[in-house]
Structure 1
């Protein structure tokens, strides 16, 4: 009798597990996206060269904008971009405002608690952006973290978290728009911006008044990925395989050549 009870208990458990898996598969966002014919991509539009809302054209452009278009092509659906901010990035996923977020998003354990982050597609790290005139003044983190030094940050992202964790003496100034910070440095309204080394390099390239401090030796070792809802295994696994194939076929290398190393 006990063996029979164990058998029925196991059978019931297996049936419930199978039902849960079938329900999850049926409810996957992957199927929803394909059925409706478009994917909603959240992006901040303020982080060159990955995502930028061009005020002249009113359209998004950049490394991850091109990647999003390729993602939509490979899914066989239209891409529709949804404006968001760094502060609202995770909430946009958890509240169903968009299916995926793309645009230079750092993979970290804090975000992974609430959402899923794809396989990485590029390595990066935090680096200071300063005025060229100050390159002999700011050579290290200790040089920067001094009374009287003004550090500009955009709220809600990993740049702000890095500053909060590492800056104890310098003044922290909040700037609502990330793209406005290089201009604040040039205008001498702030002295330093901590950002990912790619953005620091690009900003210095486009503004000869600015200087990226030792961008090959970053203060952190990070990577970027794409943000999706947590626990949707079908959609998450599809995106992970897509990222792997983009790497394997050299598609990300082409985007890097177009947007970063040109």
Structure 2
């Protein structure tokens, strides 16, 4: 009888420990959901959405001499704020600080020309894409680099945290990378003759050479084509679902074509068509 009582006592104690353990595991998840400061309801309650954009990437996100923030991503950000019924608080980021800005809750949403990659998908959640892009290579028109084999033994400029840096890290092609923190720094380095070429997203290299005609995008595409999407913090299903619906709705209204004609077309010229840049078939 004593053994039976002892056995029952042990079983009861184990059952209690199991219940406590399960409850303890479940509580943080509920607390996280309840305290998600970037959920749609939390954003609407405070009346502001924090959106990460670039400040020196013309024509996608930059600040004019008069202090006005403008560009393709900025135009989209303002539309998102309008449709949410809140004000937009812009948070300026560099390429390599976009992921950390989400993880540290400095921003709710990233619209800083954020290319989708397998590595980034492990760290943040991407919504539906609204643009497509490839890595391009910029060089002097007087000494153009038009094929990858010409890069062997050359110095190539990239911005830290970009797909261009990632591509040439994985497929070095015999190049030596010079890495900079911002777009401004990388283009200044090229103009100062610190390297033979510069690699970055081809879409804004096209825009840059239009203003700097002594340079050319000799390699218009290297590697595979990628997509650009809004990004939210991992686990933020509320804002992710809303953003997916928003991208679909805006596509149906022709918003991205309007955005292209207003903010990109004046910078690209005849070599680039809307279909080369924007994605309009999201469902």
TM-score band, normalised by shorter chain: 0.7 to 0.9
Offset, 1:21 = 8.4
Give distance in 1, aligned partners of 2:228 and 2:247: 11
- Aligned equivalents of 2:48, 2:86: Cα separation in 1: 5
Query: Structure 2 regions of 5+ residues with no counterpart?
Result: 1-25, 267-283
Q: State the Cα distance separating 1:183 from its structure 2 match.
A: 3.3
Alignment partner of 2:66 out of 57, 70, 73: 57
Secondary structure of the 1:139 match is coil
Secondary structure at the aligned position of 1:105 is classed as coil
Give 3-state SS (helix, strand or coil) of 2:129's partner.
Answer: coil
Please name the residue that 2:242 is paired with. 238
Partner Cα distance (2:32, 2:122) in 1: 23
Paired residue for 2:148, among 136, 141, 146? 141
The TM-score with structure 2 as length reference comes to 0.78
* C-alpha distance 22-188 of structure 1, shift in aligned 2 (>3 A): closer
2:168 pairs with 1:158: no
Aligned to 1:39: 49
2:5 alignment partner in structure 1 = none
Distance apart, 1:23 and its partner CA: 8.2
TM-score by length of 1: 0.84
CA distance in 1, matches of 2:35, 2:95: 31
Tell me, yes or no, if structure 1 residue 188 matches structure 2 residue 198: no
What is the rounded CA distance, in whole Å, between the counterparts of 1:108 and 1:169 in structure 2?
Answer: 23
Question: Aligned pairs, how many?
Answer: 240
Q: 2:114 aligns with which of 99, 105, 111?
A: 105
1:84 corresponds to 2:89: no
3-state SS of paired residue (1:202): helix
Query: How far does the alpha carbon of each residue in 1:81-138 deviate from its partner, in whole angstroms, 9 at most, with x for none?
Result: 1122222210110110111111211011211111111100011111111111122xx2
**Greater C-alpha Rg:** 2
Structure 2: how far apart are the matches of 1:241 and 1:25?
23
- Is the contact made by 2:140 and 2:216 (CA closer than 8 Å) also made in structure 1? yes
Aligned 8 A contact 1:154 1:178 in 2: yes
Counterpart secondary structure, 2:52: strand
Tell me how far apart the structure 2 counterparts of residues 170 and 109 of structure 1 sit (CA, whole Å): 24
Relative distance call for 1:242 and 1:125 in structure 2 (3 A) is: same
Cα distance in 2 between the residues matched to 1:178 and 1:166: 22
- Distance in 2 of aligned mates of 1:185 and 1:110: 28
Equivalent residue number for residue 134 of structure 2: 125
Structure 1 segment 159-178 matched on structure 2, within 5 A: 159-178=164-183
Q: Unaligned stretches of 5+ in structure 1?
A: 1-16
Asked whether the 8 Å contact 1:153–1:175 carries over to 2, the reply is yes
Q: Pick from 80, 83, 104 the counterpart of residue 95 of structure 1.
A: 104
In structure 2, C-alpha distance between the alignment counterparts of 1:164 and 1:47, rounded to whole Å: 23
How many Å separate the matches in 2 of 1:164 and 1:172? 8
Contact 2:95 2:182 in 1 (8 A): no
Name the SS of the counterpart of 1:133 in structure 2.
Answer: coil
Matched, 1:247 2:256: no
